[in-house]
Chain A
Amino acid sequence: MATIKVNGQQRDVSGIPADTPLLWVLRDHLGLTGTKYGCGVSECGACTVHIDGEAAQSCVTAISDIGDASVVTIEGLSENGDHPVQQAWKAHNVPQCGYCQVGQMMTCAAMLAANPNPNDDEINDGMWNICRCGTYNRIRDAVKTAAKEMR
């Protein structure tokens, strides 16, 4: 594959070994460092991006598996950083160190697109990303605020 589609643009990935995880292609080859590395084995969610609108862990997605699917990263989630999820995160002052939050917001945005009105159990289930700073209670509140805005 010579190109992949990221944030609406065809990006050149020729010469990159086919088994390279999308995460490292985004970060080291395409300069999109908003997507974070946390575990590399689909355990933490820090690397979450959207592939054709669904949340996917870029650390375990080889670029050869992307084909002509459309990848969206935090850099492409909204034009001006004002996606309802980003706004809700801001309203609740969710981030502490902030490192996990890109993945949290990408997980949340995909979850709300599929289920606009999640209950607490669904939030507990859907928002599985790890935050070592412990912002879960604020994330829970922010998810509800974002859901309200998006409905």
Chain B
Amino acid sequence: MSNSLQHTTLRQWIENARRETAIDPGPTSRVARRDFLKGIAAGSLVILTAKNGDTIAARADDLGTDDSLSPSLFVAIEPDGTVKILAHRSEMGTGIRTALPRVLADELGADWNKVVIVQAKGDRRLGDQNTDGSNSIRFFYKTMRVAGATARTMLEQAAASQWGVNATEVSTNNHTVYLNGVKKKLEFHQLVEDASKLRTPEPADLRFKSPNDFQYIGRKFPIADLDDILTGKAEFGIDARIDGQAFAVIARCPVVGGVVESYDAEAAKVIPGVIDTIELPRFQGAPLFQQLGGIAVIAESTWAAWKGRDALKIIWQEGPNADYDTDKFIATLKDTVKANGQVMRNQGDAVTAIADADRKVSATYSVPHLSHAPMETTCAVADVKTNEAGDVLSCYLKAATQNPQAVQQAVGPALGIPNDQVHCDVTLLGAGFGRKSKPDYCVEAARLSRILKRPVHVTWTREDDFRHDYFHTISAVHCEAGLDTHGKPTGWLMRAAYPTIASTFAPGADAPATWEAEMGLTDLPYDVPNVRVEVGKAKAHTRIGWLRAVCHIFQNFAVSSFADELAHAAKADPFKFLLNTLGDDRHLDIAALKLGNRGADPKEYPYDIGRLKNVLTRAANNSSWERHAQLPKGKGMGIACCRSFLGYTGHVVEVSVSQEGVVSVENVWCSIDSGTIVSLDRVHAQVEGATIMGISQAMYGEMPMKNGRAIHSNFDGFQVAKMIDAPKAIHVDIVKNDAAPGGVGETGIGSFAPALCNAIFAATGKRIRDLPIKNHDLSWS
């Protein structure tokens, strides 16, 4: 963004961001309005962003009763100069609670030591709050800058008129407005009173900082919660307390859709500390995030509730999913992708091109169910208020949630109250990875609090977390290609089958959705004249949900593994093969391919092959890729790249595989281009974290199911990466690029697993087509 930013462009941008998030323009409520302003001093200058995209400045005192603007508050500058910035996204480890306020503070010219971050409740007027999909910076970067620039402009105008000069003659830095060229200055607290009486500046009159002047954006800064985390003071969902709360642990049917046949409430109630047992309503399936039902045990401590739960002697009627068996299911999926499916992309005639090709290559890949397993299980405390007749008036929750508005939308109907009467505070999240966008656990807490008439804290045990997850899907992807005499692909065909996430929302949805297929399949970037992508049917037998990187996990695994297989078939260097196959620098025709592009405008967010080739090349250069051909047996380097969540990654992984078949990931090079970066160190950290999660998924990740039940119930069975699995070094290379901000959190996953498996192939000659790697014998002699 620059001074030349046009009013209309800005509006358009904000409106697009708003439209994408599909905010329901329902009536507003006074209660929520008071929440907005609570804790902000009278006389403050506040900046709000209205739903139509307008930014509005006002004096805090004048906002009391005017609901017509239905605005959202992003910053208040109090008379003493304290700057309060609203963090409306959830902190689960990405650093977003610090990053977006830093954007605003930078544009405002604030001294970070005088900034207080206020965590927002769920409130649809704030726009999208679903901290998911690697969207936060993309959706709100400009909103924050406009809010900061608006406030600064008003403070500058106030200073200029005190000095009797034109506002162009002043500048702002470090909480102070200066008269250029003269030793005159006024601090923010001296200007708030005057500034709060000014009219909101026209967007055209806003001056934005040039990136060269950024103090925070793109730099390294610590997360705001660092000290609290290091001293154990940070409040997570499991730590949330409301006076007088009871603790609940719930027995849920191990098979999704099963119901309670009988149980022994008395056996639970004799456990010291147990208060009561409560039967929850049966699972309704879709739509949205229904609680699973079961028997809750309420007690004075988590442990007593847990023991009570284990004493219940429940007999379940397991229902129609009781014969779900993932060994059989994966075989079915592999059969499905042998046959024609529904065409999702068709360009030229891939079938004929492959049939006529000089060489034909085909392979089928599979990835099992995965669990989210955030380090903190899902937890929430709810306090339902009723009147004397027992009617529910309101519900207050503190929850580790990625999406407090989804909490409102799920709890409101469950209690029969308007969503606006559900007030949800957001704690820190002990990670989320997508699990905590789905507030079934909040519905449980709310229902129990209503019945018990006291606050109830629901803790999911680790066993609950593994058994009752919204699992990452289970998939098979079949690839076929034909190579011409020069080893160039002439036709490329892919067929995928997996239970769709849509099945969680629409009962009966039984085929991959277009938005799922475009995470790696229909957006195939290679310059191949004939391409065909098909999807086959697959019914869901458990709750399917999105997990960090979603379909990129298995679709990029298939595509980038297959590209490596083609390179070897063509006897080409895998890096050069990828570069050649990506073709000329160009933009994919997003409209012609009917790609949703995550709702982003292709003009601002093109699918840019040049950027993809750039990260690939940088990763190759950083790793000294040419070494790969000289490595001895047992050592190997693999390469892959992808675009995911509007960011680009290139990965090189270097492994050693012992003769006994033990894989060590020695070094990882990741180059990432996600356009404008806000928190440099956290982008590094996200790529490091994605590497470790990639190791977990590729090496160990699998949640098998038998008799409809998840087999593993703790970390002894569901293995994850530990220190010993961490590479010697993760070399992160962030491309400096002031293009519009893309995603980061999920982007680092997609090309890692295929690069790892390609490296294992280089080291051993053994091709991993079915994850996880631990199931394969990689020994060699």
Contacts and interface: CB of A to CB of B under 8 A. Distances in A.
Given A39-B715, A96-B94, A97-B92, A133 B723 contact: no
B35 to A, nearest CB: 25
B717 to A, nearest CB: 10
A85 to B, nearest CB: 9
A134 B690 contact: yes
B113 interface: no
A38 B462 contact: yes
Nearest to B431: A97
B123 to A, nearest CB: 24
A73 B231 CA distance: 10
B301 A36 contact: no
Contacts of A138: 685, 688
Interface string A34-66: 111111110110100000000000000000000
Contacts of B287: none
A4 interface: no
Find the residue from B273, B432, B681 having the highest chain A CB count within 10 A. Answer: B273
B302 A89 contact: no
Contact of A33 (B232, B375, B692, B721): B232
A75 B232 CA distance: 6
A98 B229 contact: yes
Interface string B417-444: 0000000000011111100000000000
B238 A36 contact: yes
B375 A100 contact: yes
A20 B686 CA distance: 37
Contacts of A139: 723
A93 B226 contact: yes
A67 interface: no
B225 A98 contact: yes
A43 B229 contact: no
Contacts of A32: 232
B726 A137 contact: yes
A43 B688 contact: no
Interface string A1-32: 00000000000000011001100100111001
Contact of B375 (A46, A74, A89): A46
A136 B688 CA distance: 9
Interface string A136-151: 1111100000000000
Given A99-B376, A102-B232, A81 B715 contact: no
A130 interface: yes
Interface of A is mostly: loop
Given A97-B430, A99-B375, A43 B716 contact: yes
Task: Bin chain B's interface residue count.
Answer: 35 or more
A131 interface: yes
A95 interface: yes
Contacts, number: 179
B600 interface: no
Find the residue from A17, A123, A139 having the highest chain B CB count within 10 A. Answer: A17
B375 A21 contact: no
Given A24-B303, A96-B94, A97-B431, A133 B375 contact: yes
Interface string B658-671: 00000000000000
A86 B300 CA distance: 33
B301 A28 contact: yes
A95 B226 contact: yes
Given A17-B273, A44-B375, A97-B429, A81 B722 contact: no
B232 A73 contact: yes
B720 A130 contact: yes
B416 interface: no
A124 interface: yes
B381 interface: no
A136 B690 CA distance: 12
A136 B427 CA distance: 24
B380 to A, nearest CB: 15
Interface string B219-256: 00011011101111111101101000001000000000
Given A36-B238, A99-B236, A137 B730 contact: yes
A71 interface: no
B190 interface: no
A128 B696 CA distance: 15
B697 to A, nearest CB: 11
B373 interface: yes
A127 interface: yes
Given A100-B375, A132-B373, A35 B301 contact: no
B301 A24 contact: yes
A133 B93 contact: yes
B229 A136 contact: no
A105 interface: yes
B235 to A, nearest CB: 8
Contacts of B764: none
A128 B247 contact: no
B285 interface: no
Contacts of A29: 301
A10 to B, nearest CB: 20
Contacts of B234: 98
Find the residue from A21, A98, A140 having the highest chain B CB count within 10 A. Answer: A98
Contact of B693 (A16, A99, A100, A134): A134
A117 interface: no
Nearest to B377: A37
Contact of A132 (B375, B686, B730): B375
Given A97-B376, A102-B232, A133-B375, A90 B431 contact: no
B715 A43 contact: yes
A96 B229 CA distance: 10
Contacts of B721: 134, 136
A132 B685 contact: no
B229 A140 contact: no
A135 interface: yes
Contacts of B232: 32-35, 73-75, 102
Nearest to A33: B239
A93 B461 contact: no
Contacts of B233: 34
B691 interface: yes
A101 B230 contact: yes
B689 A133 contact: yes
Interface string A98-128: 1111100100000000000000000111011
B431 A132 contact: yes
B303 A20 contact: yes
A38 B272 CA distance: 24
Contacts of B723: 123-124, 127-129, 136, 139-140
A98 B93 contact: yes
Nearest to B235: A33
A134 B231 contact: no
Cβ-closest 4 pairs across A and B: A34-B232, A134-B692, A99-B430, A97-B93
10 contacts: A33-B239, A37-B459, A44-B715, A95-B229, A98-B428, A100-B430, A105-B230, A131-B692, A135-B688, A137-B688
Given A40-B714, A86-B231, A136-B721, 16 more contacts: A21-B303, A37-B377, A37-B462, A39-B462, A39-B714, A41-B716, A97-B375, A99-B376, A100-B375, A102-B232, A125-B724, A127-B723, A131-B692, A132-B431, A133-B689, A134-B689
Interface of A: 16-17, 20-21, 24, 27-29, 32-41, 43-44, 46, 73-75, 81, 86, 89-90, 93, 95-102, 105, 123-125, 127-140
